[in-house]
């Protein structure tokens, strides 16, 4: 699996958009970009994933650059409950490949 690089920590004001970057310059053509988050002492929670087109769901938006070497997870209106560690993972969707977690970005939402 391709490796990802994320900033170790970020702060965001409550009510503002939180933009979490991820670099994955060695991503291969069949690998998707996945985002999970982990609130303290809970299991990781799936957020969103995409291949090359931008994706949006009820939780977030995922913007993938045209060359697919980086992406941004956007939480449009951050709340205190969005405080968590966010993991960016690249993964092939063939054969239920394992998730390879890095150290993620610790996002703190400031009241």
Partner 1 sequence: DAGVTQSPTHLIKTRGQQVTLRCSPKSGHDTVSWYQQALGQGPQFIFQYYEEEERQRGNFPDRFSGHQFPNYSSELNVNALLLGDSALYLCASSLVAEISGRNNEQFFGPGTRLTVL
Site residues for partner 1 per CB under 8 A? 32, 34, 41-46, 49, 51, 85, 87, 93-104
The candidate with the shortest Cα–Cα distance to 84, out of 56, 60, 49, is 60
> Two tokens at 111?
């009241």
Of 65 and 100, which CB lies nearer to partner 1 in the complex structure? 100
Whether the CB-CB separation of 20 and 86 falls below 8 Å is answered with: yes
Q: CA-CA distance, 97 to 111, in Å (whole number)?
A: 38
Of 57 and 79, which CB lies nearer to partner 1 in the complex structure? 57
The candidate with the shortest Cα–Cα distance to 46, out of 17, 19, 10, 84, is 84
Least CB distance to partner 1 at residue 83 (A): 17
Of 77 and 98, which CB lies nearer to partner 1 in the complex structure? 98
Least CB distance to partner 1 at residue 17 (A): 24
Least CB distance to partner 1 at residue 25 (A): 20
């Amino acid at each position: 699996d391709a490796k990802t690089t994320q900033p170790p920590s970020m702060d965001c004001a409550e009510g503002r958009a939180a933009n979490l970057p991820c670099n994955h310059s060695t991503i291969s053509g069949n690998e998707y970009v996945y985002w999970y988050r982990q609130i303290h002492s809970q299991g990781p929670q799936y957020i969103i994933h995409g291949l090359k087109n931008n994706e949006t769901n009820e939780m977030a938006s995922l913007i993938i650059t045209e060359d697919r070497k980086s992406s941004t997870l956007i939480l449009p209106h951050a709340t205190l409950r969005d405080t968590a560690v966010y993991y960016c993972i690249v993964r092939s969707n063939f054969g239920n490949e394992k998730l390879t977690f890095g150290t993620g970005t610790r996002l703190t939402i400031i009241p």
